[in-house]
Amino acid sequence: MTSPGRAMIHLRLKQYPEALSSVKSALSQDPNLAEAYAYRGICQYKLGNTLPALHDIERSEEEGFVSPLGLVYHAKALLATGDEEAAAQVLTRCEQELAQGCHERSRITYKLGIDVGAKSDSEAMGEVQEQREDREGARDYKALLLDLHNIV
């Protein structure tokens, strides 16, 4: 298993120092591994290091690794710094990434004749859209962030 893969397991187990160690190991072997910067940023955020987290997540995105989970933590870090406008923009990107991923999965499962997965993806994105429409005009970024985090 790759170091970023181990890091993700440690993250899910809430073993943040171990996750950070795995990511640092991966980056020492390949300093251009964009995925590792995203995971290091998430680790940094979980350990309370907001600015390093923000820097790492932004670097991973600049190098082409964009994931809904990374975007959620990007928005969380921006909110922690007080930049609500930028957090809202990142959350919009997150919704777009989720919609794109669900659309792709739905398209593939439809081609394979698997209807259940496509239906659940469509329903999930419908709920996200409904929640977004409910919040139009109300700047409730933290609630939207929580909704997206629960889906991711």
Question: Which tops the pLDDT comparison, 27 or 114?
Answer: 27
Q: Which H or E run contains 10?
A: helix 3-12
Question: Which tops the pLDDT comparison, 137 or 95?
Answer: 95
Between helix 34-46 and helix 68-80 the angle, nearest 10°, is: 40
Which stretches of 30-152 are DSSP H helices? Answer: 34-46, 50-62, 68-80, 84-111, 115-134, 141-151
Given a cut of 90, whether residue 118 has pLDDT beyond it is no
In CATH, the number for domain 1-65 is 1.25.40.10
- Residue range 6-20: mean pLDDT, rounded: 88
* Rounded Cα gap, residues 136 and 57, in angstroms: 27
Q: Could you report the per-residue pLDDT of 24-61, keeping only the tens digit for each?
A: 999 999 999 999 999 999 999 999 999 999 999 999 99
Contacts of 133 (CB under 8 A, 6+ apart): none
Contacts of 104 (CB under 8 A, 6+ apart): none
Domain boundaries in the chain? Answer: 1-65, 84-152
Q: Could you report the per-residue pLDDT of 52-66, keeping only the tens digit for each?
A: 999 999 999 999 998
Cβ–Cβ < 8 Å for 7, 22? yes
pLDDT at 77: 94
Given a cut of 90, whether residue 67 has pLDDT beyond it is no
Question: Which tops the pLDDT comparison, 73 or 111?
Answer: 73
pLDDT at 152: 44
Token digits for 135? 């919040």
